[in-house]
Amino acid sequence: MAVSVWRAATLARVVTLAAVFLFDALVPDYDTSARHSSSSSSSSWACRAVEGAMTWDSVYYLDIAARGYAHEQNRAFFPAYPIAMRFVERATRLGGGGESEPSRCGLATSALMISNLAHVLGAATLEHLGLAVVGDAALARAAALLYAFNPASVFHGVAYTESLFALASFVGCLCVARGRRNIATAVFFVAAATRSNGVLLASHLLWDLLDRVILRAWGKSAFARKRRAIETPGSEIGVSPPAEDDSAAKGAAGKVPARFADAAAYSAAGDAMKLLASIAACVARCGVVALAPYLVDRDARKAYCGAGRRVGDRRPWCDDARTPAYAFIQSRYWNVGFLRYFERKQLPNFLLAAPMLVVASHATWQHFCGTQSKRERRDAYGLHGRNARAHFIVCGAVAFACFFFARVEVATRLLSTSPAVYWHVAHHGRGGGSRSFTHDSEDDAESFGANRERFQRAWCVYSLSYLAVGALLFPNFYPWV
């Protein structure tokens, strides 16, 4: 009997959290500064266990949720996740915190609730998204199961933004696939307020416009064919006019309002207006998504660059309107920048990120430059169809940015929210589909089957090993992805 995605995702959360709590209790911390900085004096074993999982970036999110953006480096973390933590803590009164002084235990518990619930919901949403985009129920389900046990599972269950961002991006993309673009815009705004790379999700709205309106409705529509058939001589298009005895064309022209010269002019005007309206709506929606990082930057400038600040207290980025505060902070505190991570001492981090970067790069290359037929490229559905194109664009862009600009080890986390990665792995794990491969002999088929099994085992070993090692290292403040 097949295990449902809901059960698999829930099982993954239970196993991951149990491993994190167990290793945190058994292994001494490499760095205890986070615990020493805690103002909590909880004697509850449950609170101690939950707070023990708050390490690395989780410390920043807890601090922002409790005190706001008290330090400049905290501006590297977007506000949606801390706001959600504070809201859940206040709504549930977890940890017994008050209105002005939220409990650290309550905030940590809220973070775990949000992340793990979002991961389960994200896995279920990814299955529906795969069905809507790829049109293959088996592949969609396999991809959702791969996401449930993805290599960055540890970060999907602690106070990190991965699971919340993944849920928002999956829901938004599903809304785009179903034509609910205004809802998608609102959800993408939440994603962009959760992580900086959320602004890339606007590419789904742009591709939807390009594919739905320009490529199909404008270039290949019945209106275009009709206009070419009935255009008069001397027009800009220069297509032959209809015959004088064409009664159908005359009948059609008789139904056109008098303010238009003929049916072609009437249709052209209406279609052009629809096109302009669609473009204007898409630009507005993309602007809403881009509004999230703008508001984050504006709030930082208001705090550090206001008129009441002394000259000595103003930050260097205050006088450069072209440099966002986020970019300066990432460069100053995390050494983010073009080729800055290309150092010999960073080779272990490149090796940690290599598996996910290779899979994401191969997925993008296969989608755009693979051996699939032109028919597969023109089809709406399928791994190489038009519906999936924006997903592979975003996947390739994130992989490129992680390799050349960011701290490369975060690639495993950032790409763990990309549907294209799981569709690609599920596609090749089951043999790449009947249309993508042919075998000239039984030996070729047998060799291909063996390679497929090796690929499946390699991905399972990779995911489960990263999950296990991450559960050991992360809660004890050892370096990890």
**Banded pLDDT at 234 (limits 50, 70, 90):** very low
The pLDDT score that the predictor gives to residue 232 is 46
Cβ atoms of 156 and 163 closer than 8 Å: yes
Lowest mean pLDDT among 45-49, 232-236, 404-408: 232-236
Instruction: State whether residue 366 is helix, strand or coil.
Output: helix
Cβ atoms of 189 and 200 closer than 8 Å: no
What average pLDDT does range 76-88 have in this prediction? 96
Higher-confidence position of 153 and 450? 153
Cβ atoms of 34 and 54 closer than 8 Å: yes
Q: What is the largest CA-CA distance in the chain?
A: 94
**Banded pLDDT at 23 (limits 50, 70, 90):** very high
Distance CA 142, CA 383 (A): 13
What average pLDDT does range 75-80 have in this prediction? 96
What average pLDDT does range 172-186 have in this prediction? 97
Q: What is the pLDDT of residues 335-378, one digit of tens each?
A: 999 999 999 999 999 999 999 999 999 999 999 987 666 677 67
Torsion of CA 43, 48, 51, 55, to 10 degrees: 130
Instruction: Please state, in angstroms and as integers, the Cα–Cα distance from residue 261 to each residue in 223, 265, 266, 302, following that order.
Output: 17, 6, 8, 57
Distance CA 39, CA 102 (A): 11
The pLDDT score that the predictor gives to residue 282 is 95
The pLDDT score that the predictor gives to residue 143 is 96
The pLDDT score that the predictor gives to residue 376 is 72
Mean pLDDT of the chain: 84
Number of CB atoms found within 10 A of residue 256's CB: 15
Cβ atoms of 107 and 69 closer than 8 Å: no
Q: What is the pLDDT of residues 383-414, one digit of tens each?
A: 888 899 999 999 999 999 999 999 999 999 99
Res 31 pLDDT > 80: no
Lowest mean pLDDT among 205-209, 229-233, 314-318: 229-233
